Amino acid sequence: MLAILFASVTSFVAVAENGEQLFLENCAECHQADGNGLANIYPALAGSEVVKGSGVDVALVLIIGRGEMPSFSGSISDEDIATIINYVRNAWGNSGDFISAKTINSLQK
């Protein structure tokens, strides 16, 4: 039982680290590494009601784009989009349910 718990925690840490790296590579230029955005230019993700709301709504923003935010559909994988969303929804004091790559894929059809 302890081995299963350790494996789950280890897996969660690896996913979180991968999510952070993907966020830094694809999102931090605008939303900043700390998720606080740039006032009156790019919105903060830390404490954002949108981010803390529905994971599907966050996914649609990444898939479709919004304002100056580009669409990530086709430029990064469904798995990476899900990983970024799961990171953002659980970083900087945010707390949100996880979304799967399968859900991301279904939203793009």
pTM summary value: 0.86
DSSP 67-100: TTBPP-BTTB-HHHHHHHHHHHTTSTT-------
- Residues forming a β-bridge with 69: 66
The residue extents of the domains of the chain are: 2-107
Q: What is the CA radius of gyration of the chain?
A: 14
Report the C-alpha dihedral over residues 31, 53, 71, 105, rounded to 10 degrees.
130
Superfamily of domain 2-107: Cytochrome c-like domain (1.10.760.10)
From first to last of its 109 residues, the chain has per-residue pLDDT tens of: 554 544 444 455 666 789 999 999 999 999 999 999 999 999 999 999 999 999 999 999 999 999 999 999 999 999 999 999 999 999 999 999 999 999 999 999 8
